[in-house]
Amino acid sequence: MHVHEKTLTVSGQNWIEYTLENDQGISINCLNYGGIIKDINVPDRNGKLENVVLSFANNEDYLNNPNFFGALVGRVAGRIESSSFSIDGKMYTLPANEEDHHLHGGTNGFHQILWETTPFQTETQIGVHFTHTFPDGDGGYPGQLEVTITYALTNENNFEITYQAISDQDTILTTTNHSYFNLSGNLKRDILHHDVQIDAGQFVELNHDLIPTGDILSVDNTVFDFRKAHPIIDGVHSIDQQNLVASNGFDHYFIFDHQQQPNATITERESGRRLEVRTDQPGMVMYTSNGLDDSIKLKERNATKHLGICLETQGSPASLKHKGFPSIYLSKGETYHKKTIFSFRTID
């Protein structure tokens, strides 16, 4: 196992690109800017190594990165309705960056931070620690927040992301990574025939602004029932109102039943690649890149709708407005500690 690093100069900034490579030949390239994952190279059933995430052709495009390709997301992943919330009766207002709402930490979230980084290697894994202290009031959020996020790759082909944080005030926090996966390899095909399985009997209803309505729906007798695997294309062709509000696809929070492991599995039968997701988060937003188009220049090709699938393990910002949703409140002095493991496998 090896960790390599090189310096990149991007629009006058010096970035570090790390390459994590295990003994099986799997490699992950990531940046200290935004914690961005640029490439994940994994084998197909015949052992051919190819990239399975969407990444820009030009590093400069990560400076803006409105689609959050590969990036860390925080302080709050997802949409905060009307860009406001309250703690103990005190109202906080955040900058709106999607209509009237606050999306993925705002305009200066985790995805645009130049993180302090420390590479490491042990007997069982290689990786990088990302650390940053966010001052009280940064981005409108209360509390000085000390954050450490760790990327680690094992020889068992597991990619582990561990999130740790502590605040000196009561605050809100839920973090994730926003990689877009495409298991066909080097973006040869879209994701419509990726088979998805999710251990979730409920999902969150959205309005036309993609804001939770406050209702939690059963997946029974809908294309949202992924307890048995079926392809993404079922939701694209669906006339279910919830698929239509998401622009013909999925952009919904699934609440895990935590009845079985893994929590989610994605399989691309033609390549034989399978991705398993295990997490201690209460749920996951599955986004099927319904908003991408060919104006976006990616490394292998221009983007298209439904070219990638995001598996955003997190709590629910809807808990700020509605009861019954997984909370994202973090008490003063409490340690936030969450972990998500992406395991890369092959099938016959």
Determine which one of 178, 194, 252, 306 is catalytic: 178
Which amino acid, one-letter code, is at 142? P
**Residue 312 catalytic?**
yes
Q: Is 178 labeled as catalytic in the residue annotation?
A: yes
DSSP for 194-224, please give it. -EEEE-EEEEEEE-TTS-EEEEEEE-TTSTT
- Beta-bridge mates of residue 297: 302
Q: C-alpha angle with apex 327: 326 to 328, nearest 5 degrees?
A: 125
Q: Which residues of 110-149 are buried (b: 16+ CB within 10 A; e: fewer)?
A: bbbbebebebeeeeebbbbbbebebeeebbbbbbbbebbb
- Identify residue 176 by its one-letter amino acid code: T
- Token readout for 133 is 């202290």
Query: For residues 321 and 213, is the Cβ–Cβ distance under 8 A?
Result: no
Half-sphere exposure of 284 (CA within 13 A, CB side): 32
Active site residues: 178, 312
